[in-house]
Chain A
Amino acid sequence: METLQYAIRKLIYAIPLLFGVTFLSFILMVHFGPDLTYSILPKSATQEQIEEIRAELGYDLPFLQRYGKFMKEVVTLDFGSSTSSGEKVSSILKKAVPVSFLVALPAFILANLLGILLALYAANHRGRFPDKAVMVLAAIGMSISYLMVVIAFQLIFCTSYGLNWFPVQGWVEPPPDYPDATAGEIFYYYWYYYWSYVAVPTLASIFVALGYNTRFFRAVIVEELNRDYVRTARAYGVRNRKIMMKHVLKNAMIPISTRIIITLPFVVIAGNLVVEKFFGIPGVGLVTYDAITNGDLPIVKAVVTCTAVLYVLALILTDIVYKIIDPRISYSK
């Protein structure tokens, strides 16, 4: 009950925050963002046509009226239609968000899981060779640019210059229309192509994220290992694995879970532009990038707003998780 009250309170407190974020993003998009008028202007135009386009796009409206329209869209979560394609923004996001989510999910889970395990391993061997080896590898992972990793992994796993195991680009299409296809065959089709397209992006994402995760998690665990209760437990002869898994890891989970949860909005909506661009995955990262370069404000507004909302929700979720991890935490005033 206390947590629920806290969550509601946080949600109410988040309203001014959301207001601020949307206002700032509106200013940035409207006054400093690209002007679609001149992107879609015919090769030869007249001033009259420029005015017509501006009127059609609503650029000729006064600032307050435009902002009011935007706020209405935010409140109703109806961002209208893309100015480039005419497609409803909700329909675009409905298609793109699940794709980004499905691409990012395996990497998100594995990079965090492996990061924790590697961090435990390194922290447990603090200052010795295994620790140094893990840290060097983590530093390598952090030092190479994501773009380079993506290109290299694509070259290694997807091309005839390398192993040629996976497709270079693409995403799962609806299965062929065989009337006698069984549910098992359809399931196998989706499973097979999902992993075909997601494997290399996942490996590349893990390669990059693992370095950052491991270093961060290790630092947290090492700090925990220096605490008195660990020394006491060891003095009592508690087994090392039990100390690590039951006590150290559990206490380290608060900062770890903060880091994990805070990246959730990226998994859910923000997408991964580099991966999506290079592997031809029609996810929300690509949609957002195209919208920014095309000056498609309805899409940009929707993505910014949804990301802001998800961040607020992620922060609330973090507080709830704290309570689950450590019931002693109290949110009462």
Chain B
Amino acid sequence: MMSFPRPLPLLGLLTCLAAVIGLTGCKKPFSDRAQDVSVFRFSDNGAPVTMDPVQSATQYANLMTTSIYDQLYEYKYLARPYELKPRLAEALPEVSEDGLLYTFRIKKGVRYSDHECFPGGRGREVVAGDFVYSMKRMFDPKNLPQGEWLWQGKIVGMDEWKKTGADYAQSIEGLRALDDHTIQIKLNKPFPQLTYTFAMGYSSFVPREAVELYGKEFGINPVGSGPYVLKSFTTKKAILMRNPNYREEFFNLEYEGYDPKKQSGLGLEKLDGNRLPIMDTAEVYFMKEEMSRWNSLNKGTEIHYGVIPIELTHMVTENLKPLKLKPDYEKKFTAMNLPELGIVYLYFNMSNPIIGHHPDPEQNRRNLLLRKAIRAGYDWPQRNRRYYNGIATIFPGTIPKGLDGYDETLGNESVTPDYEQAKRHLKEGGWTPENLPELDYNSVAGVRMTQLYEQFRGWMGKIGYPREKIKFVQYATFGDYNKAVKQKNCTLIGMAWGLDYPDAENVLQLFYGPNGSPGSNSSNFDDPEYNELFKKSIVMQPGPERTEIYRQLNKMIVDQVPAICGLSRNTLTVWHKNVVFLPSRNPHGSLLKYAYVFEDSKD
């Protein structure tokens, strides 16, 4: 009988396992030293690729830039509706009567973080000239800027500066530093939302020295005057350390808009009087994999803040409206239903005559009825139940709840499915299964997107639209999809829009004719009456007259159906009981400086 083999493989495997498992019994390195550094571990579901403010288009990039850099303004932490407060500015701007001249005064004595780009390595004072330089960077094509559109055509001389070669030595009439602490901006026409745009990461104060030192690599070597400095960065994790040069800033509960009726029970009172940033270190984990993120959160010793994956909603929650967690999770987490300041749409490409604008008035009328029929078949409530836990907010038109112009009197007919009504529209328009046009439903490839398409096709089946006439066109990446949209090659376009600032102008401009593709108006809706009214509204200061115009514009969207809208998503967010935090997404920038872990986990 053969004696070979001995149980070598098993022994080997066991040895390896023992060695690895043995680690769990080992003492943690440096565990005998005093751990006096406080840490908040935040997580997000995506990662920035750069921290250059001119490219901070994503919420992830904006989180980083608004943590590291200063902007003139920011939103009060707790105030809802959103309210601006000065950040680097001393106060709100002085605005001339005609609304064309803005004067901003910035705080004195604010310093950049210490860095080798400055003489002697000591951060110099932030001056008004930095703002002028930073805005010029936004208009310099070499930087591949993504926020230029916010100010395009608005600041006197800015566009011309770019056209004449973006020479930084050349001054701009409408953008000047009057002295080290005064910025003056001259506008071509009133732009009441200007101050809001200066709370965005795009408008960060950037020191020229750092840009010149790092060149192309400036995006991964940020140097700012914000509450944090970057210690390390990968696309999986960023470590932010307290900026030792950060000015004295203390949290004032009342000033930040605390509402005891709505916000008590979150421990926010503990923040009062604390110097910002409260924690020494903020670690940001970029975790696209929902389950890994949840596991890390639920573990209790890793990330402090995250979201409940949609697949686990029923395992974790007892009730969604109002949100209540199951007892095991209730003990661990504070939970909140976080509303999004944004909207989900399905656009019709109005430049496509088979469904959109048509030179023949009769065909135009038939196309409108066709769009109305498709909308009447669109089941927002079902979509909400299936894909958004039933907690999203559905509303008619394009102006989300909470914004000036939101119309409570607008009926819900446009967001309620009515298959009989849809069939009536089709009949009225003379549409039959034979003459209905073939439609392409466009989206980025993915299981979820395929499900959304199939759901849509199912609804259309109910109104008598032949299933085979609704094609699915998938794109490998968002870039490919965006290209098709911007080139007007899509008929049905699923999109979402996160508001850049809390003003309905930001969503109404999505239907302004001159903003057609490749502009933000992906529906290419071009209605002279709408355009006229919108043009009138954008130079108006907030007030009842403007509100009325916003409502009229919103109603026109409902009547003309360039898009099926809308829905605002909600997210089920949770954070550990020992953390004081009130999450918010856009238009807020980074809220990391307010986070307070009052009994940090000992790991």
Residues of chain A whose beta carbon lies under 8 Å from any beta carbon of chain B: 34-47, 49-50, 52-53, 55-56, 81-82, 84-88, 91, 95, 110, 113-114, 117-118, 120-121, 124, 151, 154-155, 158-161, 164-171, 173-176, 178, 181, 185, 188-189, 192-193, 195-196, 199, 202-203, 239-241, 244, 277-282, 286-287, 290, 293-296
Contact B518–A244 (Cβ < 8 Å): no
Which residues of the other chain, B, contact A168 by a CB distance below 8 angstroms? 292, 295-296, 299, 302
Which residues of the other chain, B, contact A279 by a CB distance below 8 angstroms? 292
Closest to A200 in B: B20
B447 within 8 A of partner (CB): no
B117 within 8 A of partner (CB): no
Closest to B7 in A: A121
Assembled-state Cα–Cα distance A330/B509 (Å): 75
Assembled-state Cα–Cα distance A118/B6 (Å): 11
Which residues of the other chain, B, contact A120 by a CB distance below 8 angstroms? 4-5
Assembled-state Cα–Cα distance A164/B301 (Å): 10
Contact A154–B292 (Cβ < 8 Å): yes
Assembled-state Cα–Cα distance A159/B292 (Å): 9
Residue of A41, A56, A175 with most chain B CB atoms under a 10 A cut-off: A41
Q: Knowing A38-B480, A173-B239, say if A86 contacts B50 (CB, 8 Å).
A: yes
Contact B296–A169 (Cβ < 8 Å): yes
Q: Distance in Å from the Cβ of B528 to the closest Cβ of chain A?
A: 20
Residue of B144, B232, B509 with most chain A CB atoms under a 10 A cut-off: B144
Contact B291–A151 (Cβ < 8 Å): yes
- Taking a contact as CB atoms closer than 8 A, the residue among B17, B23, B302 that contacts A196 in the complex is B23
Q: Distance in Å from the Cβ of A104 to the closest Cβ of chain B?
A: 15
Which residues of the other chain, A, contact B4 by a CB distance below 8 angstroms? 120, 124, 240-241, 244
Assembled-state Cα–Cα distance A178/B30 (Å): 9
B149 within 8 A of partner (CB): yes
Q: Distance in Å from the Cβ of B541 to the closest Cβ of chain A?
A: 23
Can you spell out 12 A-B residue pairs with CB atoms less than 8 angstroms apart?
A34-B477, A42-B147, A43-B500, A47-B518, A120-B5, A151-B291, A155-B295, A160-B299, A168-B296, A169-B287, A277-B289, A280-B287
Which residues of the other chain, A, contact B361 by a CB distance below 8 angstroms? none
B384 within 8 A of partner (CB): no
- Taking a contact as CB atoms closer than 8 A, the residue among A42, A295, A296 that contacts B145 in the complex is A42
Contact A293–B285 (Cβ < 8 Å): no
Which residues of the other chain, B, contact A176 by a CB distance below 8 angstroms? 30, 33, 37
- Taking a contact as CB atoms closer than 8 A, the residue among B147, B216, B292, B518 that contacts A280 in the complex is B292
Contact A173–B49 (Cβ < 8 Å): no
Contact B9–A121 (Cβ < 8 Å): yes
Q: How many residues of B contact A (CB 8 A)?
A: 73
Over the window 495-538 of chain B, the binary record of Cβ atoms lying under 8 Å from chain A Cβ atoms (1 yes, 0 no) is 00000100000000100000100111000000000000000000
Assembled-state Cα–Cα distance A171/B9 (Å): 30
Assembled-state Cα–Cα distance A113/B9 (Å): 9
Q: Distance in Å from the Cβ of A187 to the closest Cβ of chain B?
A: 9
Which residues of the other chain, B, contact A173 by a CB distance below 8 angstroms? 232, 239
B234 within 8 A of partner (CB): yes
Assembled-state Cα–Cα distance A38/B55 (Å): 14
**B residues 1-47 in Cβ contact with A at 8 Å:** 2-5, 8-9, 12-13, 16-17, 19-21, 23-24, 26, 28-30, 33, 37, 47
Which residues of the other chain, B, contact A195 by a CB distance below 8 angstroms? 19-20, 23
Contact A280–B285 (Cβ < 8 Å): yes
Contact A114–B13 (Cβ < 8 Å): yes
Closest to A158 in B: B295
Which residues of the other chain, B, contact A53 by a CB distance below 8 angstroms? 141, 144
Q: Knowing A117-B9, A173-B232, say if A37 contacts B479 (CB, 8 Å).
A: yes
B300 within 8 A of partner (CB): yes
Which residues of the other chain, B, contact A287 by a CB distance below 8 angstroms? 235
Contact A167–B302 (Cβ < 8 Å): yes
Contact B236–A171 (Cβ < 8 Å): yes
Contact A164–B299 (Cβ < 8 Å): yes
Which residues of the other chain, A, contact B20 by a CB distance below 8 angstroms? 195, 199, 202-203
Contact A192–B23 (Cβ < 8 Å): yes
Which residues of the other chain, B, contact A295 by a CB distance below 8 angstroms? 477, 479
Contact B216–A41 (Cβ < 8 Å): no
Assembled-state Cα–Cα distance A39/B484 (Å): 12
Q: Distance in Å from the Cβ of B237 to the closest Cβ of chain A?
A: 7
- Taking a contact as CB atoms closer than 8 A, the residue among A40, A88, A121, A159 that contacts B146 in the complex is A40
- Taking a contact as CB atoms closer than 8 A, the residue among B26, B49, B235 that contacts A282 in the complex is B235
Contact A199–B23 (Cβ < 8 Å): yes
B220 within 8 A of partner (CB): yes
B148 within 8 A of partner (CB): yes
User: Which A-B residue pairs are the 3 nearest by beta carbons?
Assistant: A39-B479, A44-B520, A282-B234
Contact B478–A39 (Cβ < 8 Å): yes
Assembled-state Cα–Cα distance A49/B139 (Å): 10
Assembled-state Cα–Cα distance A121/B302 (Å): 42
